[in-house]
Structure 1
């Protein structure tokens, strides 16, 4: 039986060497994976693909982050797919459940739910040179265990055995693999230097792995961290339905806090009126989205560069932000809420509630260092470490304080130094991707999308693709459209292998690191954008407009392309079409110049002759 290559099928029945073949395998069902799946169907007409997701549901970070107050800090009309807009957002900055529902609705509209397989962890992918295919190892998980962190799964297997997490394993093969794993996957662990967590008698959880069974009512809560998650969770948990008795937030250094933009017309108008207006007049929604995009791009040139103009504008904005902080937060916190680094070199907090919540007597903010954990509380130093250390380096602090704690919430972000981990990715000649990155200084990928030695492997929203000022969904969409330009030829059978050239990948990575030094992400401060050795694998050193244009026009000369016989023939036909079209233009222009009337009359006859030659030449090439 003749089976088309772009069809999912079983090879070798139930023999030892049997496997399932997928034309395209997508790792991850977050926003990038959803975008890739939808566009495969819409642009290329392909429904023979599979999306493997470790978690128990679709939505990526919006599936797993369920802490109180979780919300989008980008206006949702911009934090959504351009190919599938939602004109009925109930809030200008919707909370997690509404965003998750949007992604689920997109999946339903494009009918890709049956292409997604949850509770399945892609633990390893290996390039098979002879077959020109990828072999992927799938681990089928006990439902729900994929929502646990890597450490939690490991601890469970050690305590209860492997089958408490993994119920089966299978090896499959694919022509193309698209990694849509995302960066916010594994939560940062508890700091190892802070002892005593095992003795704690209360409840403990990370905001990225929220435990809904935790009862906060009339409890003393300690929140460790001062990033976006902490700024969202702290104001919420003293309110209904949580009603914490007290909240102590432990902060090492302050973030820059930007007042969250107010919805056009106000939140009440947006909730009640905007769905009707934008649904009946979609051009209004598209116009607002475009306006937000250009305003976001303007911020790049205003605040993120190290030019005299940007530096001056940053100073003006910083004064404005500090003035806002002093008008909103209690005076006792002004000194510890004044950052000592350039704004924008760390992730900004777009806030509507956190600074105001510090007026609540139930909430206490401190920079006293966390020392250890006791059964019913935490031990902190008696003096704050910000804005200036009261204790000289090397001097021992003898006094300590105990803060009562029934619940400890860790809000210290994610592991971002280990891109694509824990999946082991083995390319040509048995080379592991993490080893390549270690040798070259840090995580990197040409256009944030491809690495030499790993053919037909494409990363969506890979290293150096975040701009820090724009919607990550826009960046993901750009990467998806870029990737489809390569996938198209692979699925048509015109190309066997796409692989970026080594020298081009290395040159790209070098350019990224050098150009980032000319931005606020260079030496402005230490942030999670940079690894411990100073390597920045997160941010892009140019505007999103620049990145979008690069994605629209791939540099084919930067790639090793292994054409099939069919691809070689079609390439010759396309070249011939281009030459004959150019010739027709030249002949027509010459004829019109000599005799405008006769030239215009002759153009159809010239076109017919050239078309006849083209068809004859094409037939010979096909033969």
Structure 2
């Protein structure tokens, strides 16, 4: 019977227990999932895989984030795949729609669109010990409902019934599962500590679920948060085509704001008009510029993010520069509340050219007064303030309350980033859930940010402790994809049944990461950030350079893995071991032969080498014969 283990096929025909089988199943059709699909086709020539994504379109976070001003804060040359460069970016920092179009074009270029199935949520992944396969529970969604947050889907089910969201459940199986779910999945909810959410009669939504039909014309808008999304969003709301009457931005603590980098030497305007021609007609220019950006980001890591005397000194210089930028750009009334009391780099920095200048708009107000409550058409702020703390200012803490009119409230308070791959449920070979393993070991973790013991043939793309804080997420994802491909190749070749990282290796890797993080600004910078949990566990950032991570991904440490070989794979391993032994013995034999025939002059070198090779081949042939007898046995 033909071996179908590397082919998508139906098992069980029309039986009730029949299922679809996938050699490789990928969760998520964002940038990481797209990269995995493209590289499976390009590197391995393999197209028998399926990507499942609960959203209604391809592109991950760039599909779902549609708020005004959404854009890339990393130069586009560095926020694109090295295997599929784009020479025609319209801007140094392109908009969200342009980035989405790029990812969709890559899918079309590599022919993986037919491998992607949207409107499908992966609910549960469970390892089957006997079959040595993953059983995957899929929920087929009513088209478009996957674009809602998990809470909104639950709310819809309560209001309109299960069928309003879910069409059917399906059980499939897979040999390899790659989770490329990403981190920006579930928006943070309305804070439970603030009463009145249900009383509000205006529009209230998260920026990551922007309502395309919302009318802001002459409306009073409250924006909660001052992260990267809020910085892009706020200055656009008072301008065409939105024309909000007023925008009040509520801030808990200030971010460090970095002037958005412009193309060196030439400027943004020249770049937009000429860069496409130069990258198209000058071979290697794109790769050179990308390499220079990589080198610059690594220099930033060494000079800002570490806890070395050099980096501490470097941070002071950067902070002084950013404070000057602050005072040269925003009104004086905001200087105190926009001056951070923690080290630069401790939290995600904001790279934007519009937020600080936008604070000069008389229609925009920034406050650190906390939200006390929400009424039908208003929001009450105060008393007190969230920032600055009393110990760092001579100003008295305000004791008054302010009730502001509010027609629209926009939450821009980030995402739930500390649970990792949630709400996906993953049950390993010991019938233990992945989240429970993480809880028992202190927090989310994974060897190389990619694999966990007890979960064979499961690879996480952009897993715990792989974010950089200074470099491109695309680079990190590509490294993990190339790393994972090395394992999948051996499985698809039929050499290996399962790969499972050893527990000692995973624990040691995580211990090293957590120890090294103590010598970085992320844990020593004096801030409260989403990089770390309440217990101080940092499951987000990677404390070494991307040079090191790229190198480690190129050369897997196979000794750190429990590898279950197939009969074919074991035979190949034995042949390799035997050939290494033969080469070593032959080399020693050659040395002895030279030693028995002392050289009287340099003229004797060729003859001596010939004799050594002849003896080595004779010895190797004898050992090869014995080795084949051993293999046959």
Q: Taking structure 2 as the reference length, what is the TM-score of the superposition?
A: 0.94
Distance 2:588 2:507 in 1: 42
> Hey, what does 1:569 align to over in structure 2?
571
Distance 1:358 1:7 in 2: 57
1:598 matched to 2:599? The reply is no
Q: Distance in 1 between matches of 2:83 and 2:622?
A: 40
| Pairwise CA distance, 1:605 | 5.9
Aligned to 2:39: 39
- Equivalent position SS for 1:572: helix
State the partner residue of 2:440: 439
Q: CA 1:398/1:342 → structure 2, altered by over 3 Å: closer, same or farther?
A: closer
Partner of 1:96: 96
SS at match of 1:288: helix
User: What is residue 503 of structure 1 aligned with on the other side?
Assistant: 504
CA contact (8 A) 1:495 1:563 kept: yes
CA spacing shift, 1:319–1:396, aligned 2, 3 Å? closer
Moved more, 575-584 or 76-85: 575-584
> For the residues of structure 2 that align with 1:551 and 1:163, how far apart are their CA atoms?
44
Q: Which secondary structure state, in structure 2, belongs to the residue aligned with residue 26 of structure 1? A: strand
Q: Please name the residue that 1:414 is paired with.
A: 415
In the TM superposition, residue 429 of structure 1 has moved relative to its aligned partner by: 2.3
Give 1:529's match in structure 2, choosing from 531, 537, 558.
531
Q: Distance in 2 between matches of 1:82 and 1:618?
A: 44
1:151-195 Cα offsets, whole Å, 9 max, x none, are: 000000011111110101110000110000001111000101111
Matches of 2:623 and 2:159, distance apart in 1: 71
Q: Determine the structure 1 residue equivalent to 2:74.
A: 74
Task: Look up the match of 1:377.
Answer: 378
Deviation at 1:599, TM superposition (A): 4.5
Give the conservation status (yes or no) of the 8 Å contact 1:87–1:282.
no
Q: Which residue of 1 aligns with 2:519?
A: 518
Cα distance, 1:376 vs structure 2: 1.3
Q: 8 Å contact 2:586–2:617 — kept in the other structure?
A: no
Give the whole-Å Cα distance in 2 for the aligned partners of 1:168 and 1:149: 19
The C-alpha deviation readout for 1:236-274, integer Å capped at 9, x for no partner, is 122222221211111011000111111241111111100
- Cα pair distance change 1:606/1:353, threshold 3 Å: farther
- For 2:178 and 2:312, the matched residues in 1 are separated by 39
Q: Which residue of structure 2 aligns with residue 290 of structure 1? A: 291
Instruction: Return 5+ residue gaps in structure 2 as ranges.
Output: none
C-alpha contact (below 8 Å) 2:586/2:620 kept by paired residues: no
How far apart in 1 are the matches of 2:618 and 2:498? 37
Instruction: Name the CA distance, whole Å, in 2 between partners of 1:389 and 1:442.
Output: 33
Label 1:576 to 1:243 Cα distance change in 2 as closer, same or farther (>3 A). same
Secondary structure of the structure 2 residue equivalent to 1:430: coil
Residues 354 and 426 of structure 1, relative CA distance in 2, 3 Å threshold? same
Contact map agreement 1:460 1:480 (CA 8 A) in 2: yes
Aligned to 1:429: 430
Distance 1:607 1:79 in 2: 53
2:230 is aligned to 230
Cα distance, 1:482 vs structure 2: 1.0
Shift of 1:602: 5.9
Deviates more, 1:602-611 or 1:366-375: 602-611
> Per the alignment, in what secondary structure is the counterpart of residue 428 of structure 1?
coil
Q: How far is the alpha carbon of 1:596 from its aligned partner?
A: 2.2
The answer (yes or no) to whether the contact 1:455–1:498 under 8 Å persists in 2 is yes
Instruction: Give runs of aligned pairs for residues 117-196 of structure 1, distance below 5 A.
Output: 117-196=117-196
Q: Deviation per CA, 1:595-622, whole angstroms, max 9, x where unpaired?
A: 3222565688678768866876786536
* Aligned ranges 1:444-483 → 2 under 5 Å: 444-483=445-484
Tell me how far 1:100 sits from its aligned partner: 0.6
Distance in structure 2 (CA, Å) of the matches to 1:106 and 1:606? 55
How far the C-alpha of 1:499 sits from its partner, in A, is 0.9
Partner of 1:87: 87
Partner Cα distance (2:568, 2:101) in 1? 44
Number of aligned residues: 621
CA RMSD, 1 decimal? 2.2
Partner of 1:548: 550
Q: 3-state SS of the aligned residue for 1:295?
A: helix
Structure 2 Cα separation of the partners of residues 498 and 154 of structure 1: 37
CA gap of 1:375–1:20, structure 2 versus 1, over 3 A, is same
User: Is the contact made by 1:569 and 1:622 (CA closer than 8 Å) also made in structure 2?
Assistant: no
How far residue 407 of structure 1 moved from its aligned partner, in angstroms, is 1.0
CA deviation string 1:388-441 (max 9, x = no partner): 34999xx99863111111111100000011111111100012101111111111
Task: Name the residue aligned to 1:488.
Answer: 489
| DSSP 3-state at the match of 1:338 | coil
* Partners of 2:20 and 2:173 within 8 A in 1: yes
- Distance in structure 2 (CA, Å) of the matches to 1:136 and 1:490: 19
> CA separation in 1, counterparts of 2:378 and 2:338?
25
Q: Indicate the residue corresponding to 1:354 in structure 2.
A: 355
Cα shift at 1:337? 0.6
Q: Offset of 1:584 from its aligned partner?
A: 5.3
CA contact 1:577–1:614 (8 Å) conserved in 2: no
Q: What is the distance in 1 between the residues matched to 2:143 and 2:376? A: 33
Shift of 1:556: 1.3
CA distance 1:19–1:324, change in 2 (3 Å): same
Corresponding residue number in structure 1 for 2:209: 209
Residue 106, structure 1, aligned to residue 115, structure 2? no
Unaligned runs of 5+ in 1: none
CA distance in 2, matches of 1:588, 1:288: 49
Whole-angstrom CA distance in 2 between matches of 1:589 and 1:324: 69
Distance change >3 Å, CA 23–CA 614, structure 1 → 2? farther
Q: Does 1:299 align with 2:300?
A: yes
Retained in 2: the 8 A contact 1:591–1:598? no
Could you list the per-position Cα deviations for residues 44-85 of structure 1 after superposition, in whole angstroms to 9, with x for gaps in the alignment?
Answer: 111001001111111111111110011111101011111111
1:332 maps to what in 2? 333
Matches of 1:607 and 1:115 in 2, distance apart? 52
Equivalent residue number for residue 319 of structure 1: 320
SS at 1:355 equivalent:
helix
- Conserved 8 A contact 1:238-1:362: yes
Give 1:523 shift. Answer: 3.3
